[in-house]
Chain A
Amino acid sequence: MKIKCRTISRGVAEGEVLLTNDAISFLGNVEPETGEVVEPQHQLYGQSIAGKVLVFPHGKGSTVGSYVIYQLFKNGVAPAAMINLESEPIVAVGAIISEVPLVDRLEKDPYKILKNGDMVVVNSTEAFVELRNE
């Protein structure tokens, strides 16, 4: 199944879905050395976003968050790709400089069609997300 979307950061990547309903402030919520979510109040507390297709509504917090995404990338623990409901500049800039494909505004609600552990391809260059389960 292919779902159309809007391109924010170009690229193609495949990975396992990790969903959260909480917005993410990369500065403070995520440990740049490991990719682990370290904010106790966060839905993903204790989990690693490394190599995942991270689905979250949007970014929040300090603009330094863009550089934290770059740090994750440099340390080899960035997400494989990211899907937002609506991207904002912090995550958009962070994704672009870190070569992490990022899309938003999926044609279908990602929270209804995707679940944790699904294998998906995010092809941001051609503006689609493909569910690979079958």
Chain B
Amino acid sequence: MYLTPEEEKTLDGEYGRSLQKAIEILVALGDIYGADKLIPVKSAQIAGVSYKTIGDAGLEWISDLEGKVKIPSILNPAGMDIVRWDEMGIDPVFAKKQQEIIEAYAKLGIQTKCTCTPYYLEGFNVTLDDHIAWSESSAVSYANSVIGARTNREGGPSALSAALVGKTANYGYHLDEMREPVVTVEVDCELSGSDFGALGYVAGKTIGSRVPIFYMKNKPSKNEMKSLGAALAASGAVALYHIEDVTPEAVRNKFARPDEVIPVERTQIDEVYETNKDIQSSEIITVGCPHCSVEELEEIAGLVEGKKLQKEMWVCTAREVAERHPDLVQRIEKSGAKVVCDTCMVVSPATNKYESITVNSGKALAYVPSMCKVAAKYARIEDCIKEAGVVDEN
């Protein structure tokens, strides 16, 4: 792997131990995956935030690092809402450790915004062909597929290394040839809203870690593509997908249609809505996986207007998005729903205490049963709100 004289100096420790370790990680990964060089990246999103995942060892490692990140950098979702953790029923010992982790990242110059949707935040807008180093699987999928930017699915230490060095190794999805579709997914019906999450949940299992191209009967919105990508990355390990005539690279590159075809029919989508249908009434309703966009918050605010919810309902979003729209937060919370920031139903230990949950996310449906040991039902957003036990205020 070629290194510039400056990179060689970093590797030899001339700029201190933390930077030396960081570039050593990038070079080792580059060697393992056959990269030719390091390339600059525009921003980084760093995994390894929840205390539940990285424990004391991770905290110790991050605390031991010195220096400052060279590019705009933020964090994956944490295990709790950083402000309202108490209301979520989080153990104070966990909360203290979680705060320590976030403070350790802040010391390195990382913005302590914890979200799976960095693309909604100021300073993290990316465009076609930008190179970035992001971690969270749905964010990676959205950046690669919907935006046409380029990132591998970084692990915690490699994303942090990329942030400190301002570069990453040039392999995988940074390269043109790795971005071409190798399998066709043919969808035989029109889809809307949470159908796209169901599609990702169904198709991801067969696609595995390959790059698919979808042939659809109708064009999805960006929010719908967000749900599709998140589910594809959870039920499979898809980091990049294309949609014929829709996603930017499919439009520009006019990919040849791969011979292998995975057909998806309406009945398969409908079956996802039947998951755990014997559960009469679930204990909690959670939406916002991935974190809600402004449009999604508006839709929910409209749906709960003038209503009182009888059950616990979380609407998960990025703190910055919530802070920019206090009016929407207020309208949603008036119904009794909670606008939860920095975290979600998948990564927070607060989910574990429930027996059953209703979600409108294919990603949550894939992860909540195994990671939180909670039985999950799948529903459209309107039905999620009905499930929350609506009582008309008027």
Contacts and interface: CB of A to CB of B under 8 A. Distances in A.
B53 interface: yes
A10 B57 contact: no
Contacts of B270: none
Given A67-B55, A89-B158, A96 B28 contact: yes
A66 B21 contact: no
Given A89-B155, A93-B25, A97-B21, A67 B61 contact: yes
A93 B60 contact: no
A63 B154 CA distance: 11
A68 B32 contact: no
Nearest to A88: B32
B25 A74 contact: no
Interface residues of A, number: 22
A71 B57 contact: yes
Contact of B25 (A63, A88, A97): A97
Contacts of A63: 155-156
B157 A66 contact: yes
B57 A89 contact: no
Interface string A3-16: 00011111000000
Contacts, number: 61
**Overall SS of chain A's interface:** helix
Describe B's contact surface by its main secondary structure: helix
Contacts of A67: 48, 54-55, 57-58, 61
A93 B57 contact: no
Given A8-B31, A87-B32, A96 B58 contact: no
B29 interface: yes
A68 B55 CA distance: 9
Contacts of B56: 71
A93 B158 contact: yes
A8 B25 CA distance: 9
A35 B58 CA distance: 17
B49 to A, nearest CB: 13
B32 A9 contact: no
B24 interface: yes
Contacts of A97: 21, 25, 61, 157
A70 B32 contact: no
Contacts of A64: 53-55, 58
A40 to B, nearest CB: 23
A96 B25 contact: yes
Choose among A67, A70, A88, A92 the residue with the greatest number of B CB atoms under 10 Å from its CB: A67
A93 B157 contact: yes
A67 B156 CA distance: 10
Contacts of B54: 64, 67
B53 A96 contact: no
A32 interface: yes
Interface string B174-208: 00000000000000000000000000000000000
A33 B156 CA distance: 23
Interface string A52-78: 000000000001101110110010000
B61 A93 contact: no
A71 B56 CA distance: 8
A22 to B, nearest CB: 20
A89 B56 CA distance: 21
Q: Which 6 A-B pairs have the closest CB atoms?
A: A71-B57, A67-B57, A67-B58, A93-B157, A92-B28, A63-B155
21 contacts: A6-B31, A8-B28, A8-B32, A9-B24, A10-B24, A32-B57, A66-B157, A67-B54, A67-B57, A70-B57, A71-B56, A71-B60, A74-B60, A89-B32, A89-B155, A93-B29, A93-B158, A96-B24, A96-B28, A97-B21, A97-B157
Interface of B: 21, 24-25, 28-29, 31-32, 48, 53-58, 60-61, 155-158
Interface of A: 6-10, 32, 63-64, 66-68, 70-71, 74, 87-90, 92-93, 96-97
